[in-house]
Amino acid sequence: MIIIAHRGNVDGTNPERENSPDYIDEALELGYDVEIDLRTKDKRLYLGHDKAQYPLKLGWLYKNRERLWIHCKDRESLEFCSSTVMNLHYFYHENDRYALTSKGIGWVLVGQIPYNNSIIVLPESISYYDKYEGKYDRIFGTHGICTDKCNYYRRELNEVV
């Protein structure tokens, strides 16, 4: 099962650093994949959740492409990801409860029931435990999780196995 650092977060949210390349590099160095928010402004690529915040160097994107889950935040970034030869792993959604990544893995938004080949987004934000008998039963039945608390889940899930 894979654990993905949501915007680079590994020990809780850190809005001041989320999506910054240095912060993402730190999560990658800890062995996590990372979900990033890709935006386009004036025909240039940026990282940032609510706005184009950090200019993106294509070399950095290429170097880390195998471990990045790219959330395209606008049509232009989606067009870039779908037309590049870099073989990026990307997806797009706005208010959808479920999305499918470019590599065929489900992206399940907060509060939705996950399925086998899917990533549960922010499992710490809702209580799956009311719906399922075992605390981590549904997590173990999926491809992985995207969380702000990677280190917590790494410890917890290793104890259960």
At residue 139, the pLDDT reads 81
Instruction: List the CATH number of the domain containing 106.
Output: 3.20.20.190
Residue 135 DSSP symbol: T
Residues 65 and 89: beta-carbon distance below 8 Å? yes
Structural domain for 44, as ranges: 2-160
At residue 126, the pLDDT reads 65
57-88: per-residue pLDDT in tens?
999 999 999 999 999 999 999 999 999 999 99
Residues of the chain with pLDDT under 70: 126-135, 159-161
At residue 161, the pLDDT reads 46
Please give the Cα distance from 99 to 27 (Å, whole number). 24
- To the question of pTM greater than 0.85 for the whole model, the response is yes
- Count structural domains, the chain: 1
